[in-house]
């Protein structure tokens, strides 16, 4: 991908303005969409479209959101009159100066409003009569009526009787008293009382003004503050409280904080950028890709949504840091490379990978229940794609190459012990933070992320109390019509009151404005008591009692006129205005609700009471917070696994290795654990604002990990160390991000401060982890091993190796347990030793054969020692040698060194089984061996004394042969092959290979061909043993044997090259075997067009005496060939253009799949040059596609065009396939004979061997 982006840049440098024109089209469409978008600052527009949340939002918009309370308090000593005067003056100024904003304002409630409502209730007693009082009145007789009228007379005769005259005469039996009592109780606003006809707080220290707004305008706060300043008497201070002024002060606080902190961050970041890049221009260019991306994301959101939540758009703006990260990588790499095309080649692949994974992760937000997260996904997808493509395609054409970096040529420094210490620190820190990760809490209370000025907070505390403040609660019913909603609310209210929870619902709107069926039911109840003759009789009793107690005949006329059958009812506006009924519409539903003020501890009881009532609900801000918390928890859980899976799969597909995907992904997972742990440790709560920072941190962490991996892989792939530029970009991006969000700690708004704490903690954690864990793991498992000439681990090989080690450890523990058992077992010692040796043999055999990745070709020595004990000598390449020798027969013991003898795992068992130790001395061991052989036991000895490093056999020590001479026993040589390849010295990796065991004929004590005396026999047997070993090596170690090693040398160098090596090694198996067979084992070989060095390595590994010089035009392939883990001293890789190369003298020239990249003249010149420098008896081995009619050559041309088209192979011109006749003519001119040795069945590729003839000039 990097080559493609660089190629596009180079091809369009002269027409660079085509890119801005291409970019203008999507930008124009985005701006057009933005211009017609509708914006909302309502929180509910950003929440999921759930019925309950939609009803709550609709009710809040319909209820007292427009009510504001103003309070006037005085300094100590200020008289109460000053507070009253200030409140009156404020009310007057407000009503006269701003009628367009203020609907009403009062500090002295109008008593006529309540009296009119009471009079209306008395006039409609059939509807408003209390059912229980009505039932009690129904049981009255004439005497009871007379007694009740007498009680009325006594009340009127009291001191306050005159004030109650009208109410008592209109309702002498108190049928409406419970309803009026509830109405009076609800009329007393929380924290407000009436003093001398004016509203005050209960402690009489604050005069209150209640204001109703016409509109929620931004001018309201300024208007109120101006009026307060003009109205306040000396020593009096005023403040306002309510949803509208709170929203206004929060918006202004956020604007002020954002402006101040942004300016501070901008100054610091620009200073850092100028210092880092040494340019004033670059900070300006930095803003272009993020700005373009944000406009595209904004436009996409505007196009896809009929209405845009400002909160969603603000959350999208938080992702600008990820877009800025792309600029950091481009400019930082350009600063180091000073070559735009080279920079694009390096950063395009990781940038596009990071962009793809981040885009896929954010696209997954579309499946969440949260509207704001879904909108964030749309913005992020378009913004990040637009920003990344702008950086890669547009920006390079308009930047100048920066000044060189002073320390650019500093020697590369690979991770060492310091990285392992860093890994240890991360492991310890992770273990320490894991317990705290579960302590993270979500703060769903919107008030905690709101900013409330001190004067506003003081007024609120006076009204609601500092602790356990009353909470506004909406009790709602919803149905397809308002009347049906009233029915549901009536039914639920009756159920709650019947259950004894009257205090929870003191007054409901349906008490004053019942449903149609409710009115019918109430009137039927009235008719049952006073209908027909009952009404006339009761009227007579009332009139008789009135006369008896001295009332005029029509004193109770307003009451007695309603006796009899109830008349039609019409709601009175005076009553309805006090009902507190809130009506809202959501879709096809009508929602009707009552607004209550309850202490927080009573809300749960109200919710439980209404829980079983269908069509009703209890809504409050704490429930909104809990629902948001539930949504966030559910969404975060879904986001976590969904995005993790997407990112991991993208990494796996891109890298082609699960190991690299895990190394890259692990820091992201650890970063999330660290963020949760740090939040739990320091008590940082998640909230509806800073939870969005997690998406921002995750997106940046994704990029950091990918770019860190890319830097490590680039150094591992070719040895070119660009980790400084990758690391510099990551550090610079993290530092500027920490500064940009960290300055929010100076903000006064709590929501902004919460962003600062979480983002700084998250970015710091990701920076530490990405710069320590990835390099350490990469060094430990891959790069560090390769630097030491060891094969890097793969996940499968690591798993198999760990399994083998654990199996061995478990076996040692089992053997130790058996040793303890044998110690106390009452049996002969020799028998227990035999059982021990048998268990050892079984265990070692099971361990050898449980290693399923290692093929076995074992021809043991059991038969050779069956009849007579002997000294068994074997070459020693690996720890597995010991296991293989011990598994053959239990009738053998081994000569061990002091380390094995004293091993805490198996030393006791070895000593108990009768093994020998070299440190005991030769004489002592001879005598011990004599006794062991008397028992029929053979002795296994590795005469080299130590394991070989390179697979060759070292010098044989004389001890084994001296012992054989002293004991007069035969020597049985056992040749082991492949064991060192399976597990080398000082290496725990168990590799895929084949191990072989061959038992040579026994050497009798008196056999003369090996000389006399143990000294001569040692040399002779050693020489013969090595010859036999080399015969086995020559037969087995052909190019096919080394295919696994060849593939592992190119593992982690990119999925294309790894799979190319796999496929090519398999396809050209016969070719490699033929090349190996036709080239002398000690020849000097020149590999022309060596590519990645595949043929060169196979030929060298198959015959290490060969000296190979490889030449390749592609510098990247040469670097890759040089930086394999196999340290092959007999191969030199050189960069050269074969068209200009004079081949050095050689015994064999290999020209494989490269001749067709040269024009015919260059082809002829190269072949003739090789012929001239060919040594006597040498040959030119040419494999290429030879032009010929037919489908085979068509396939050859197609595959070559594909490989050059994708940039895998490079060519500077057309492909020229040579005809066979042309080759024959050139060979004849050079005096070479041509042998056609190997032709492929599906392509026109064929091997031609050109050998020298006697007619050669």
- DSSP string computed for 1103-1155: -TT-EEEEEES-HHHHHHHHTSSS--TTEEEEE--TTT--PPPEEEEEEES-G
User: Which H helix or E strand runs over 594?
Assistant: strand 589-598
Strand partners, 592: 477, 583
Pair of tokens at residue 1187: 């032009």
Q: Rounded to whole angstroms, how far apart are CA atoms 69 and 78? A: 21
597 in Cβ contact with 471 (< 8 Å) = yes
Catalogue the E-assigned strands of 470-548: 471-479
Q: CA distances (Å), 782 to each of 669, 912, 1209, in order? A: 21, 41, 27
Q: Per this entry, what is the length of the chain?
A: 1257
Strand partners, 67: 212
Pair of tokens at residue 11: 């091809």
Q: Where are the alpha helices (DSSP H) in 197-319?
A: 219-231, 243-277, 281-286, 288-304, 310-317
357 in Cβ contact with 22 (< 8 Å) = no
Give the tens place of pLDDT for each residue, 435-446.
Answer: 888 777 766 666
Other Cβ atoms within 10 Å of 967 Cβ, number: 20
Give the tens place of pLDDT for each residue, 236-275.
Answer: 999 988 777 887 887 788 778 777 877 887 788 788 888 8
How would you write 211-236 as a 3-class SS string? Answer: EEECCCCCHHHHHHHHHHHHHCCCCE
Q: Rounded to whole angstroms, how far apart are CA atoms 911 and 1076? A: 48
User: For residue 77, with 0-12 CB atoms within 10 Å meaning exposed, 13-18 middle and 19 or more buried, which class applies?
Assistant: exposed
Angle (nearest 5°) at CA 516 between 515 and 522: 85
Catalogue the E-assigned strands of 30-149: 38-40, 67-74, 102-106
652-656 long-range contacts, Cβ below 8 Å, gap at least 24? 654/349, 654/353, 654/1055, 655/709, 655/1055, 656/1054, 656/1055, 656/1056, 656/1058, 656/1059
Q: Rounded to whole angstroms, how far apart are CA atoms 791 and 63? A: 73
User: Which H helix or E strand runs over 896?
Assistant: strand 892-896
The sheet carrying 871-874 orders its strands as 854-858, 993-999, 971-977, 871-874, 938-941, 892-896, 916-917
Pair of tokens at residue 38: 């509708």
Q: Helix, strand, or coil here: 107?
A: coil
DSSP code, position 1126: S
The pLDDT assigned to 656 comes to 87
* Cα 732 → chain centroid: 22
684 in Cβ contact with 762 (< 8 Å) = no
Q: Rounded to whole angstroms, how far apart are CA atoms 759 and 1131? A: 52
1047 in Cβ contact with 1062 (< 8 Å) = yes
The pLDDT assigned to 1203 comes to 67
Domains and CATH numbers, the chain: 1-36+278-410 (1.20.1640.10), 62-245+501-582 (no CATH), 418-449+619-787 (1.20.1640.10), 795-1036 (3.40.1130), 1039-1252 (3.40.50.150)
Q: Rounded to whole angstroms, how far apart are CA atoms 459 and 908? A: 83
Q: CA distances (Å), 561 to each of 538, 554, 616, 1074, in order? A: 11, 10, 38, 124
Q: Helix, strand, or coil here: 683?
A: coil
Q: CA distances (Å), 419 to each of 722, 733, 769, 770, 773, in order? A: 18, 22, 11, 12, 8
Q: Rounded to whole angstroms, how far apart are CA atoms 711 and 554? A: 103
Alpha carbon dihedral 442, 445, 451, 456, in 10-degree steps, equals: -160
Which residue's entry shows tokens 């877009």? 323
Pair of tokens at residue 971: 């020597």
* Cα 142 → chain centroid: 83
User: Which H helix or E strand runs over 939?
Assistant: strand 938-941
Query: Phi-psi region for residue 237, left (φ > 0), alpha (ψ -120 to 50) or beta?
Result: beta
In this structure, is the dihedral angle defined by the CA atoms of residues 1232, 1113, 1123 and 1205, taken in order, positive or negative? negative
Residues of the chain with pLDDT under 50: 406-412, 414, 1255
Q: Rounded to whole angstroms, how far apart are CA atoms 214 and 945? A: 100
Cα end-to-end span (Å), the chain: 51
């Amino acid at each position: 991908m990097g080559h493609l982006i660089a190629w596009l840049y180079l091809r369009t440098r002269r027409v660079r303005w085509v890119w801005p024109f291409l970019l203008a089209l999507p930008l124009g469409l985005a701006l057009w969409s933005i211009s017609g978008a509708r914006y909302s600052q309502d929180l509910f527009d950003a929440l999921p479209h759930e019925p309950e949340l939609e009803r709550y939002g609709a009710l809040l918009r319909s209820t007292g959101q427009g009510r504001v309370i103003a309070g006037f308090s005085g300094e100590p000593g200020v008289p109460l009159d000053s507070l009253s005067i200030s409140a009156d003056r404020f009310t007057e100024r407000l009503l006269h100066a701003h009628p367009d904003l203020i609907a009403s304002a009062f500090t002295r409630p109008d008593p006529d409003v309540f009296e009119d409502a009471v009079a209306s209730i008395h006039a409609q007693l059939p509807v408003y009569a209390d059912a229980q009082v009505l039932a009690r009145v129904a049981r009255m007789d004439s005497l009871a009526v007379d007694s009740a009228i007498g009680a009325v007379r006594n009340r009127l005769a009291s001191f306050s009787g005159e004030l109650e005259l009208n109410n008592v005469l209109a309702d002498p039996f108190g049928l409406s008293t419970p309803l009026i009592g509830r109405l009076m109780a609800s009329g007393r606003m929380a924290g407000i009382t009436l003093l001398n006809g004016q509203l005050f707080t209960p402690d009489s220290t604050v005069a209150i003004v209640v204001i109703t707004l016409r509109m929620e305008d931004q001018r309201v706060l300024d208007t109120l503050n101006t009026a307060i300043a003009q109205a306040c008497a000396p020593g009096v201070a005023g403040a306002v409280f309510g949803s509208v002024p709170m929203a206004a002060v929060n918006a202004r606080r956020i604007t002020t904080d954002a402006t101040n902190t942004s300016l501070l961050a901008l100054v610091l970041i620009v200073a850092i950028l100028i210092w880092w890049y040494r340019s004033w221009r670059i900070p300006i260019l930095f803003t272009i890709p993020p700005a373009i991306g944000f406009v595209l994301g904004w436009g996409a959101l505007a196009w896809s949504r009929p209405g845009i939540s400002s909160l969603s758009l603000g959350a999208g703006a938080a992702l600008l840091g990820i877009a800025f990260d792309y600029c950091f990588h481009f400019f930082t790499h350009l600063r180091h490379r000073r070559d735009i095309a080279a920079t694009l080649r390096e950063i395009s692949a990781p940038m596009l990978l990071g962009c793809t994974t981040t885009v896929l992760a954010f696209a997954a937000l579309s499946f969440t229940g949260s509207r704001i997260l879904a909108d964030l996904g749309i913005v992020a997808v378009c913004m990040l794609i637009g920003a990344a493509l702008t950086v890669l395609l547009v920006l390079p054409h308009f930047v100048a190459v920066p000044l060189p970096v002073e320390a650019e040529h500093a020697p590369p420094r690979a991770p060492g012990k310091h990285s392992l210490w860093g890994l240890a620190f991360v492991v310890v820190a992770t273990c320490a933070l894991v317990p705290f990760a579960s302590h993270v809490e979500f703060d769903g209370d919107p008030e905690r992320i709101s900013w409330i000025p001190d004067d506003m907070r003081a007024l609120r505390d006076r009204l609601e109390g500092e602790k356990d403040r009353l909470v506004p609660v909406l009790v709602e019913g919803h149905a397809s019509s308002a009347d049906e909603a009233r029915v549901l609310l009536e039914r639920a209210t009756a159920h709650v009151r019947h259950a004894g929870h009257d205090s929870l619902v003191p007054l409901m709107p349906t008490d004053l404005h019942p449903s149609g069926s409710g009115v019918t039911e109430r009137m039927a109840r009235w008719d049952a008591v006073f209908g027909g003759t009952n009404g006339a009789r009761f009227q007579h009793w009332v009139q008789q009692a009135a006369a008896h107690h001295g009332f005029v005949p029509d004193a109770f006329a307003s009451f007695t006129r309603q006796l009899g059958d109830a008349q039609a009812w019409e709601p009175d506006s005076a009553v309805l205005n006090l009902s507190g009924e809130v009506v809202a519409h959501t879709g096809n539903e009508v929602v009707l609700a009552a607004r209550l003020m309850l202490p927080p501890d009573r809300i749960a009881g109200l919710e439980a009471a209404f829980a079983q009532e269908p069509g009703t609900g209890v809504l409050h801000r704490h429930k909104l917070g809990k629902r948001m918390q539930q949504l966030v928890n559910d969404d975060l859980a879904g986001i976590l696994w969904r995005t993790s899976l997407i990112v991991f799969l993208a990494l796996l597909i891109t890298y082609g290795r699960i190991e690299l995907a895990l190394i890259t992904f692990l820091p992201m997972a650890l970063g999330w654990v660290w963020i949760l742990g740090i939040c739990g440790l320091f008590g940082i709560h998640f909230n509806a604002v800073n939870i969005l920072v997690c998406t921002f941190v995750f997106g940046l962490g994704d990029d950091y990990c990918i770019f860190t991996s890319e830097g490590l892989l680039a150094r591992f792939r070719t040895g070119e160390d660009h980790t400084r530029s990758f690391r510099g970009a990551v550090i610079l991006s993290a530092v500027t991000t920490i500064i940009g969000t960290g300055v929010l700690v100076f903000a006064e708004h709590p929501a902004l401060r919460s962003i600062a704490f979480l983002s700084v903690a998250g970015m710091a954690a990701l920076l530490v982890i990405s710069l320590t864990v990835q390099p350490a793991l990469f060094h430990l498992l891959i790069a560090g091993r390769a630097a030491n000439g060891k094969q890097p681990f793969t996940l499968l090989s690591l798993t198999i190796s760990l399994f083998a080690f654990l199996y061995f450890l478990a076996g040692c523990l089992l053997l130790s347990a058996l040793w303890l058992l044998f110690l106390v077992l009452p049996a002969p010692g020799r028998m227990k030793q035999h059982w021990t040796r048998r268990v050892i043999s079984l265990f070692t055999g099971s361990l050898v054969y449980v290693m399923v990745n290692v093929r076995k070709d074992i021809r043991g020595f059991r038969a050779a020692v069956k009849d007579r004990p002997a000294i068994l000598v074997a070459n020693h390449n690996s720890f597995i040698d010991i296991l293989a020798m011990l598994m053959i027969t239990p009738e053998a013991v081994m000569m061990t060194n002091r380390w094995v003898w004293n091993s805490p795992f198996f030393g006791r068992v070895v000593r108990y089984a009768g093994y020998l130790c070299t440190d005991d001395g030769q004489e002592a061991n001879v005598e011990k061996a004599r006794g062991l052989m008397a028992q029929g036991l053979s002795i296994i000895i590795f005469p080299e004394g130590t394991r070989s490093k390179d697979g060759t056999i070292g010098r044989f020590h004389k001890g084994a042969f001296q012992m054989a001479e002293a004991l007069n026993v035969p020597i049985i040589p056992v040749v082991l092959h492949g064991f060192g390849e399976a597990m080398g010295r000082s290496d725990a990796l168990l590799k895929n290979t084949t191990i072989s065991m061959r038992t040579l004929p026994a050497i009798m004590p008196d056999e003369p061909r090996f000389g006399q005396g143990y000294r001569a026999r040692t040399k002779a047997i050693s020489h013969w043993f090595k010859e036999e070993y080399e015969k086995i090596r020559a037969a087995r170690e052909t190019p096919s044997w080394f295919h696994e090693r060849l593939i592992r040398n190119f593992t982690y160098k990119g999925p294309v090259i790894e799979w190319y090596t796999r496929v090519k090694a398999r396809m050209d198996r016969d070719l490699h075997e033929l090349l190996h067979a036709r080239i002398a084992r000690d020849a000097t070989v020149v590999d022309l067009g060596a590519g990645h060095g595949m043929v060169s390595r196979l030929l060298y590994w198959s015959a290490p005496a060969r000296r190979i010089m490889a030449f390749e035009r592609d510098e990247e392939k040469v670097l890759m060939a040089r930086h394999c883990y196999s340290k092959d001293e007999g191969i030199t890789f050189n960069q050269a253009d074969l068209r200009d190369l004079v081949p050095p003298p050689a015994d064999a020239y290999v020209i494989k799949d490269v001749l067709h990249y040269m024009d015919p003249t260059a082809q002829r010149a190269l072949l003739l040059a090789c012929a001239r420098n060919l040594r006597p008896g040498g040959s030119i081995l040419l494999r290429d596609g030879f032009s010929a009619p037919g489908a085979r050559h068509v396939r050859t041309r197609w595959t070559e065009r594909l490989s050059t088209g994708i940039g895998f192979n490079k060519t500077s011109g057309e492909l020229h396939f040579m005809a066979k006749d042309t080759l024959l003519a050139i060979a004849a001119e050079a005096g070479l004979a041509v042998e056609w040795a190997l032709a492929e069945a599906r392509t026109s590729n064929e091997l031609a061997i050109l050998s020298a003839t006697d007619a050669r000039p």
